[in-house]
Amino acid sequence: MATYKDLIKEYSEATGAILEIESMITNKTVRFPAFLNDVSQNFKSSWQTENVFGRNDPIATFQNTTRTVNLGWTVVAANIQEAKQNEIKISKLITFLYPGYYNYRAPEGTDTSGKVNLILSKSPLVKVKFANVIQAQDGGGLLGYIDGIDWKPKIDSGMFAENKKFYAKTIELSFTLNVLHQKDIGHDQSGKWVGSNNKFPFKLE
């Protein structure tokens, strides 16, 4: 007999309703059934303005256009085993916010000879994908960085208890992805759109 978890997995895989977040440091991926409660994208152009004497309007110089993706979703558990698995999965996601290091051993003859120090080597970039709504132009995950994850259990939904430990039945997660453009995007001298193909949100005829 199919369990609740089996039904959710079957539906998610059949419809593609899966939210994927991949760490660019470890290349590990966490996947959640996409019970989205918030998804939005913001495109913001920045301009440097200078007020000039005798001119009504400031002189505006374009700087850049940034893109952010806001995501919120719900993680649910039908039993305590699923709640524990969700806790592990969420913990793994949170580790994606931390950087990568390599071990540096001080050379012989120095004051710290033989001592091993951790040196920052990689920033915690991620790729995020949800069907055709959030994706890169090649159809893969959208590259960027997350500046924080909000974790909020729904207390009114109750919690599972075992050995004086508690596991939430329902957890709401959210974050903002600051997108890093991997190509120069804009218009060429003829006015033709360049830098992206026929993928949302740049689906041009």
> Which of 72-76, 179-183, 194-198 is least confident?
194-198
Average pLDDT over residues 116-140: 90
Least confident of 76-85, 87-96, 119-128, 132-141: 132-141
Tokens linked to 66: 């940034």
**Which phi-psi region, left, alpha or beta, contains residue 109 (left: φ > 0; alpha: ψ -120 to 50)?**
left
Identify the residue with better confidence: 12 or 205: 12
pLDDT mean across residues, the chain: 88
Q: What confidence category does residue 120 fall into, taking pLDDT thresholds of 50, 70 and 90?
A: confident
The residues, any chain, with a CB within 8 Å of residue 102's CB and separated by 6 or more, are 118, 119, 121
At 205, is the pLDDT very low, low, confident or very high (cuts 50, 70, 90)?
Answer: very low
Q: Mean of the pLDDT values across residues 121-149?
A: 93
Contact yes or no for 167/84 (Cβ under 8 A): yes
How much is the pTM?
0.83
Examine the pLDDT at 114 and tell me if it is beyond 70: no
Q: How many angstroms from the chain centroid is the CA of residue 119?
A: 25
Of all residues in the chain, the percent with pLDDT exceeding 90 is 64
Assess whether pLDDT exceeds 70 at residue 148: yes
Q: What digits encode the pLDDT tens for the residues 187-198?
A: 888 888 887 766
Asked which of 95-99, 172-176, 187-191 is least confident by mean pLDDT, the reply is 187-191
Q: Which of 22-26, 79-83, 86-90, 194-198 has the lowest mean pLDDT?
A: 194-198
